[in-house]
Structure 1
């Protein structure tokens, strides 16, 4: 593995707009593929010469490639390739609603099958003799875990970063049933869920999932400039689909046999940590590593925590 110098706070914006921008222009390519139902989904990739390992990302709710510019640059510098599909309804992938800042999905099986098609059509043909590592964050952690359970053999190991194994503040089964009936009867599955809000261009760093102000500002600037990056609120359908994830993951968790590292955030306001304990008990190959001082996005934490996170991720990938 090549040596990687991690960015601090003071130099972040300048280097992202110079060296990182040049890296993306020179080495990162964009592609499209058709999923199982004809939806056209967008992805990015870059593979260094002589790379023997590639990372495939499964990103989180309302995320897009720009949020991972720093992450993929570190991977490339270390000598690893990457593939980054933008999930349905996110970034430049199809599946957006009439209100483009609202995220809808009918069922997480759709995300899983999108990922399956991407692996079969794009990743596998390009990496027949390379080791493949899954890196999945938040919602992507749920999608990635469901994929690993249903389709073994695609990955050699996995890194789950604050994965959505168990959500906080899940309504009771009765409330969920009533909400589902209401959404069905009145055609509201694609409407914005209660408590959600539209993108209004107002920074919310203080209550966000990151502790790095410059990284938040870098991402937020992209949101302001591009409607494709303004996904912001959950639809009722997305919420109903997400509430089912916990039971589905743990029903089949015993199928997981590959090495899995789960990075958790001690100040996570979105994910219930009880899910991590339960996951470790059911998956023998799972290792839990806690970053107690981090919010939900560990890769956007304060410098000491963030650098240790990246160091460990790179070591996991490099390890045979």
Structure 2
């Protein structure tokens, strides 16, 4: 590693005084219209629906139905001459975040990609961040069809991602729900990305019960017209941070993410509607289809956490095995002492994780296959 990780003892100070100003200096913010990509995937674009932020001061009413993104130009970043930054331009990374997350949460990871010569294009998935909403309650996430997530991400990568890659490699970095979406993109758009990292991907969610039972329950609730209702036992975001539920993570990082969430109402998604659960389980079944796994041509590395309570590990194993059986290049890396968000772990875990990602992206394609 040619650059220094952020000092956890001075984390908030370094993020606020160094990282965030540098990111702001090279960031292009915009709204992506997913209509064409959705039509090409056989989906009817959704009409603008409920949006709890439609009257906000940032003019979000003018972006009905569109998806918010942050794109970071490594050429502009290089002009800042940050210590440890490479002079090489290595292409672009498309970033796909997890359930109830938002693109800006990944500011530290984006910083490291920029230091290593990659532009970064990060999309707020539908129902998340500043993107189009379909629910009055800003804490609740709903989606009508998992294929919409897939079409949106693919369309974003084909346009903004390729533009920022500028003829150089285009890679994918995705986490949790974003990893399940990313896996489906790799199956349906096999020549879109040069490399892909799936970090604790939601190949199958952990629902708190056997997933066959969760599938039956969610299908039943949706059939009864409860698809937009909150899943039992979940609540609105209330601003509470329980560090006791993150015994292995970097508490400095957890506090930073939480403060960012508290400061922005758009970042306070927190619970699932029954339709989201139904679609996540349908996504899982589709991603694990043997023929779909065999269609993957993009070399991929899947990182698995030993203390993951949000997604299931065994389906990740099956996914990698099926990609390999179909002739694809897939590697599984298990990090025993990590929670679900490996990028939130202490530097002792984060450093080797980053090293492996960057080495994988830098390998010639022939060595990854």
1:47 alignment partner, one of 48, 55, 73: 73
Cα pair distance change 1:210/1:308, threshold 3 Å: same
**Which residue of 2 is the match for residue 59 of structure 1?**
97
Does the 8 A contact of 2:93 with 2:121 survive in 1?
yes
Cα pair distance change 1:5/1:256, threshold 3 Å: same
Write the mapping of 1:265-280 to structure 2, written as runs, cut at 5 A. 265-280=305-320
Shift of 1:244: 1.7
Q: For each residue in 1:159-191, what CA deviation from the matched residue of structure 2 results, as whole angstroms up to 9, or x when unmatched? A: 000011122335454663354233333x32111
How many pairs align? Answer: 318
Shift of 1:85: 0.6
Alpha-carbon distance in 2 for matches of 1:214, 1:128: 36
| TM-score, normalization by structure 2 | 0.82
**Which residue of 2 is the match for residue 289 of structure 1?**
333
Alpha-carbon distance in 2 for matches of 1:76, 1:225: 25
Alpha-carbon distance in 1 for matches of 2:3, 2:130: 29
Q: Give the match's secondary structure for 1:135.
A: strand
Cα pair distance change 1:261/1:220, threshold 3 Å: same
Is 1:309 the counterpart of 2:365? The answer is: no
Alpha-carbon distance in 2 for matches of 1:78, 1:172: 40
Moved more, 4-13 or 226-235: 4-13
Write the mapping of 1:149-188 to structure 2, written as runs, cut at 5 A. 149-168=187-206, 169-171=208-210, 173=212, 176-185=215-224, 187-188=225-226
Does the 8 A contact of 2:183 with 2:287 survive in 1?
yes
Write the mapping of 1:128-277 to structure 2, written as runs, cut at 5 A. 128-168=166-206, 169-171=208-210, 173=212, 176-185=215-224, 187-208=225-246, 211-251=249-289, 252-277=292-317
Alpha-carbon distance in 2 for matches of 1:250, 1:120: 24
Does the 8 A contact of 2:5 with 2:347 survive in 1?
no
Deviating beyond 4 angstroms after TM superposition, the runs of 4 or more aligned structure 1 residues are none
Alpha-carbon distance in 2 for matches of 1:34, 1:162: 28
Is 1:69 the counterpart of 2:107? The answer is: yes
Gaps of 5+ in 2: 36-44, 47-64, 76-87, 365-369
Alpha-carbon distance in 2 for matches of 1:193, 1:135: 29
Q: Give the match's secondary structure for 1:146.
A: helix
